Amino acid sequence: MGVFGRAERAADTPTPASPAPGPSVAGGPSALLHLQRRAGNAAVNALIHRRLLRDGAAVKPADVVDGLPGEIAAALAEKTEVDAAYAIKKIAEGPDLDITDPSALLTRADDLLEITKGWFFDKAGGKQDRKVNRILGQMLTKLTLLEHSPSAGSEVVVSTVAGVRALFEIVGPLGTTQEKMLDVLDDLIPLFQRDPRGAWLCYSTLSQFGPLSHALLAAENEDPEADETHQQLLSALRGLRQAMASKDNVGVVAHRGTGPSNRTMGALIPQDDDRRLNRPAENSPDAFETAIAETSTTEEDLGLDGVECDVYLSGDGIPIVTHESNVIEQLARSLQAEVAKHGRHVDDFSADQLKAIQRTASKGSRFMTLSQLIDLVIPAAMIYYDATGRAFRLEIEMKGTKGGHGAAGGAGDASASSGPRRPAALTTAVTKALSRCRKSLPGIPIDFVLFNGNEDDIADFDAARTRRTAISDITVGMNYKAGKPPRGVDELRYMVRDMLANPVALAAQLEHYIVTGVFGQEFAPAGLGLDAVQPSKDLEGREKGGRGEIATALTDRAAGKKVLDEVQLGELERLVATGKLDLTRFRLLTDYPKKAAYLKAVLGAALASLGDGGSAGKAGAGEKKKEEGKSGSA
């Protein structure tokens, strides 16, 4: 079969799970879908799912009404065609998931319209008024998931549900609604810090306070940027996000699945390097399946906490998981000539063509879309959440398209803190993919992290939390080098060597941000059986330093000496043991998923060595973060 042989036809959007039977429908996105499943009307179920819940083609209301149970059809038939279309979509967005009686369902939909002062049917109110109603519908869907979740009886869930339902009693007047949202967040921040288990779905619900405030302001023709209360609300949400991110030990994320196999540190990995020969191809199904196998599955949380990927746009505008625009250099030499006949860069090919291209002899080395990766991560996220009570991280580094061919810092590693702006089409395509996942599966515990090093792009990622209400819960990260990070950043990512050069600055950053460290040229500890996938050759074309670096490291390891990343880990261990590095918001990126347990054991032991003094210090830091969350300072 040629390189453009028949590709496996995986859907390019995550596939929704079927609603579970009974009143608990975790994962079920719609009241009407739930009703139709109970009524056994599969045709209507499929129609509404295909035409209304996904961003698909338009549908005539009559097509849906004709297939509905009599009571609903009769009620909708009394409305104008436009109003009926709005009502169908509103019901599909989920006023309540556990209502099975058709008349009760319509009553609940009418209640929701009353809550929003009838804006949903008020054409003069414009799309912002309808957006308010849509946000409230999404919040109600998540509340129902919370009320039927395994953590339903926990203090943080009970308080979240009570706070949001109280908001629904008064939503409408702008100032009153905003103040109520602030009060709810201030009350919840300490609960998130005391018991983060199950807090992710609470945060996913509460994060929609930002878009709700924005939409209310827009409906009143007010500027959200100039509204002091709105900005306080966004700061409070940021405090809640930081509280939710706190862990008892370091978090570990798999870099490109199983580490670089093509480029790193701004240079090319040689064709005869063990990283290229023996590792799964970076950013491939093989790499991510290998990483996901190391996910934490017990409360001890000694496995992996997430995976990291990079994205470019294909020629037909689909986000493709790849660290480089250059397709040819990622392939085994024997495969390059045939593919080069058809193009060279990611956007020279369609998504279907790219999904058929293998980087190596393994079928699992094919290029994949971002949506395919999300599908792969979903089962692991559920297992991880059941074990740890936290969301599984999917970090997405936003790269570019043909315009720059990877111009943003070459390999785009953490050392690259700036670069040309990414095309707006990339942000649009990625946020659409995430939004589709959230709409289809609102209860999936995945913490989507969007990041790169361009401040204008970061502002766009932050704004996306308001523009696309279904992804109001995303995290915004930054490839960081120096200076004060821009507004909207939740997380900083940079080289461990730079952190160790200024540990005081690192400690100060951890008071306000999640911080992720990157080792660079990384080796694996002895005894993990990973010798065959470690660096074995020096990089080709590295502009700064690196000559003989790998050869020297291999000689040192053979002599029993520590190499650079091992020395760096030792320095981190010392900082933890002396109380100078707070692990609660600290993350490490690794090229070896199997190394996660080792990293957690080393730094966890250092934390334990602090004894009672360390615990007290940690508690004190928690109190400081609590006050930070209330004030919204950063």
Domain ranges (residues) in the chain = 26-115, 127-245, 251-631
Phi–psi pair at 334, nearest 5 degrees: -70, -15
pLDDT cut 90: percent of the chain above it: 50
pLDDT score of 598 more than 90: yes
Instruction: Name the strand (E) or helix (H) holding 601.
Output: helix 596-608
Between 110 and 151, residue with greater pLDDT: 151
Phi–psi pair at 320, nearest 5 degrees: -110, 135
Between 13 and 317, residue with greater pLDDT: 317
pLDDT score of 421 more than 60: yes
Mean of the per-residue pLDDT values of the chain: 78
Between 9 and 522, residue with greater pLDDT: 522
140-154, 266-280, 334-348, 521-535: which has the minimum mean pLDDT? 140-154
pLDDT score of 91 more than 70: no
Q: Taking residues 608-632, what's their average pLDDT?
A: 48
Q: What is the per-residue pLDDT for 103?
A: 56
Q: What is the per-residue pLDDT for 108?
A: 56
d(CA 606, CA 434): 38
Q: What is the per-residue pLDDT for 218?
A: 85
d(CA 293, CA 97): 33
Q: Which of the 8 DSSP states describes residue 449?
A: E
Q: Taking residues 262-271, what's their average pLDDT?
A: 91
Q: How does strand 306-313 pair with strand 392-398?
A: parallel
Fold (CATH) for 251-631:
TIM Barrel (3.20.20)
Residue type, 173: P
| pLDDT per position as a tens digit, 291-327 | 999 999 988 888 999 999 999 999 999 999 999 999 9
Q: How does strand 514-518 pair with strand 368-369?
A: unpaired
Q: What is the per-residue pLDDT for 153?
A: 87
Q: Taking residues 401-420, what's their average pLDDT?
A: 43
Structure tokens at 540: 């080709």
Between 354 and 165, residue with greater pLDDT: 354
> Residue 81: which pLDDT band, with cuts at 50, 70 and 90?
low
**Nearest C-alpha neighbor of 246 from the set 203, 194, 201:** 194
Q: What is the per-residue pLDDT for 454?
A: 87
What SS3 class is residue 47? helix
28-42, 78-92, 496-510, 539-553: which has the minimum mean pLDDT? 28-42
**Nearest C-alpha neighbor of 25 from the set 443, 364, 553, 407:** 443
Cβ atoms 472, 208 nearer than 8 A:
yes
DSSP string for residues in 376-432? HHHHHHHHHHHHHSSPEEEEEEE---TTTSSTTTTTT-TT----SPPPHHHHHHHHH
d(CA 57, CA 49): 11
Q: CB under 8 Å to 508, separation ≥6 — which residues?
A: none
pLDDT score of 632 more than 90: no
> Residue 62: which pLDDT band, with cuts at 50, 70 and 90?
low
Q: What is the per-residue pLDDT for 590?
A: 98
pLDDT score of 113 more than 60: no
pLDDT cut 70: percent of the chain above it: 71
pLDDT score of 618 more than 60: no
Structure tokens at 279: 């590792």
Q: What is the per-residue pLDDT for 230?
A: 94
Q: CB under 8 Å to 247, separation ≥6 — which residues?
A: 301, 305, 390, 583, 584, 585
> Residue 221: which pLDDT band, with cuts at 50, 70 and 90?
confident
Q: Burial code of 201-233, b = ≥16 C-beta within 10 A, e = fewer?
A: bbbbbbbbbbbbbbbbbbbeeeebeebebbebb
Q: What is the per-residue pLDDT for 405?
A: 47
Instruction: Name the strand (E) or helix (H) holding 573.
Output: helix 564-577
Q: What is the per-residue pLDDT for 248?
A: 87
> Residue 366: which pLDDT band, with cuts at 50, 70 and 90?
very high
pLDDT score of 207 more than 80: yes
